[in-house]
Structure 1
Amino acid sequence: MSKKYIRYFGGFIESEQRWLNTMSAKGYRLSRTGKLWFEFEECEPNQYEYYIDFAGHKSNGELERYTRTLRDFGYRVITKNKKLFIIERHHDDRPFASHTTIEDKITYYKPQRDAHFILLLLSLFLFIRNSFVKGEWGILSTWLFLLAAVITIFSTLFYQKHINQLKKEAE
């Protein structure tokens, strides 16, 4: 029996990863995913664990090599939205993270922060541009772009905070 869920995490990868591992603890294995949906099949509780890796800054060749390497280690890789890799392995007591040093983590978070910052700038630009458009569509789109800007400013600040905390730890 499979279950399908609709979820939006707003780019907060750690939240999505925690949720996938919670679903595994309840006895569900991720079988497929789309932009906003996840499909699970039943399994033994805690049989699998998940790690999500952001790969939006990698070239197609790098993505293929990375995927091949993960599969060589015995991991199952599910690509979501072409920039997120959901990595699945059988539950193990060893740590499950590909970014272990502080420098690795900073390098990992910077492209995520930058992607959200670009969306923030685009949303602000479209908000300002559409504020001059008359009519119902102009008003509606102006507010939608303002909402998008507010959401992306929070996610940009979230990742910047992570980076700052890691830099403090490194000192």
Structure 2
Amino acid sequence: MEKELLGGRLMKRKIIKFFFAWDFEKEEKWLNEMSAKGLQLVSVGFCTYVFEECESGEYTYKLELLENLPSNYQSTSYIQFLEETGAEYIGSVFRWVYFRKKAVNGTFEIYSDIESKIKHYKRIITLFSGVTPICIFPTIMNWSRFSEEPDPSRLILSSITTLLAILLVFGIFKISRRINMLKKEKLIRE
């Protein structure tokens, strides 16, 4: 954790923390817990969060995976739409965007219904489904080369790609379960 002093007073904190993409709700929860402690997110990067000291619980945070990069015209229009509703765009990490809204303005929800939540989860699965085969193919190739010619570097590389493939499949499984739970909830409500 890095601390920055401005005028003799603690102003910013940089925290390095990792979340899996399928655990974005845990990341939101953590950001809201930080807000409750008086630390408000002002900048975000890959595994990097910059906070400023502010009033406890001043903001509520939400994350969303966009269909395109934030620089895309559709994404820019969507971000502007959310800003018009009182949300503040903080930043992005690839297609993940971070928003906050003043807590005094009431509940902050990006997804107004179950169907929009399902669509968001499906975007996450689509992302993983595109990356997983790219990861599985080298895994198979690395293990077959390792079996032909054992080499410590191949063993390490094969193990890393295997772990990555397992994590991606696990993420797809977790998000699929959430989608199924939401579909059941939707049926109950109808």
Normalising by structure 2, what TM-score?
A: 0.83
Q: Secondary structure at the match of 1:92?
A: helix
Match of 1:25 among 33, 36, 50: 36
Moved over 4 A (4+): none
Q: Is the 8 A contact 2:83 2:89 kept in 1?
A: yes
- CA deviation vs aligned residue, 1:13-50 (integer Å, no higher than 9, x gap): 10110000000000001111111110111001001110
- Among 166, 170, 173, the alignment partner of 1:150 is 166
2:96 corresponds in structure 1 to: 84
Deviations 1:111-151 (A, max 9, x none): 10121233222222111011133433321111000110121
Equivalent pair of 2:43/2:91 in contact (CA under 8 Å): no
Counterpart of 2:27 in structure 1 is 16
**Is the 1:116–1:156 contact (alpha carbons within 8 Å) kept by the matching residues of 2?**
yes
Q: How far is 1:108 from its partner? A: 1.2
State the one-letter code of the partner of 1:80: S
Query: Which residue of the partner structure matches residue 136 of structure 2?
Result: 124
SS at match of 2:144: coil
Deviation at 1:78, TM superposition (A): 2.1
Question: Which residue in the other structure is 2:45 paired with?
Answer: 34
The aligned amino acid for 1:42 is E
Secondary structure of residue in 1 paired with 2:99: strand
- Matches of 1:112 and 1:148, distance apart in 2: 16
Inter-partner Cα distance in structure 2 for 1:90 and 1:128: 49
Aligned residues: CA RMSD: 1.6
Corresponding residue SS for 1:132 = helix
- Report the CA distance between 1:82 and its aligned residue: 2.5
Tell me the TM-score normalized by structure 1.
Answer: 0.92
Would the aligned equivalents of 2:125 and 2:172 in 1 still touch at CA under 8 Å?
yes
1:87-126 equivalences in 2 (<5 Å): 87-92=99-104, 94-126=106-138
How far is 1:93 from its partner? Answer: 6.2
- Supply the distance in 2 between the matched residues of 1:100 and 1:123 (Cα, whole angstroms): 35
The one-letter amino acid of 1:18's match is: K
Q: Describe the superposition over 1:35-67 as per-residue Cα deviations: whole angstroms up to 9, x where unpaired.
A: 111011100100111011111x23611111011
Against the structure 1 CA distance between its residues 73 and 93, is the aligned structure 2 distance closer, same or farther, given a 3 Å change threshold?
Answer: closer
Rounded Cα–Cα distance in structure 1 between residues aligned with 2:45 and 2:87: 20
Partner of 1:144, secondary structure, is helix
> Offset at 1:95?
2.5
Report if aligned partners of 2:128, 2:172 keep a CA contact under 8 Å in 1: yes
